[in-house]
Amino acid sequence: MGYGQSAAAAGPGLEGIAMSFGKINSFIDIISNAPVKDADGFITQGDTILASVRAYKEDRNGSERWANRAVFSEASVLFRFRKIPGVEVSPSLFIVCEEKRYRIISAEDVRGRGMYVECLCELVEGSVN
């Protein structure tokens, strides 16, 4: 894939996914809130940032694509970002974007190629960092 070339034009299997640097313009933090043991052996409950990346963000709208996602009716936002080596994105994690916290409902590999991860998320009410 050359500089400035979208992923859709880069090769077969990514049709309909035009991911360019112009669309990946939201900064997100992928966060775990699992208990963590510190160096002294004490368990602390708090947010641990696993990764800070740029992502494509799409709010829920009335399009046909969102209508086909009826199974995930509680999802209000879609995030799509490049796969992060060593980080397994799962529904137990959260995403923070623009001072809002989102719970991951579904995380899957786009087209099974290991290039992008797509997360359907819902806004966690009353969450401000």
Residue 4 included in any domain: no
Q: Could you give the number of structural domains in the chain? A: 1
Cα–Cα distance measured from residue 28 to residue 53, given in angstroms and rounded to the nearest whole number: 6
Residue 18 included in any domain: no
At 24, the amino acid letter reads I
What token pair was written down for 19?
A: 């991911």
Residue 91 included in any domain: yes
Most confident listed range (56-70, 79-93, 115-129): 79-93
Residue 46 included in any domain: yes
Residue 7 included in any domain: no
Each residue's pLDDT tens digit, 10-62: 434 444 455 555 677 889 999 998 888 888 888 888 888 999 999 988 887 65
Residue 78 included in any domain: yes
Burial track 100-109 (b if 16+ CB lie within 10 A, e otherwise): ebbbbbebee
Cα–Cα distance measured from residue 98 to residue 103, given in angstroms and rounded to the nearest whole number: 14
Q: What is the CATH number for 68?
A: 2.40.10.270
Model-level pTM?
A: 0.70
Range of the domain at 95: 26-123
Residue 9 included in any domain: no
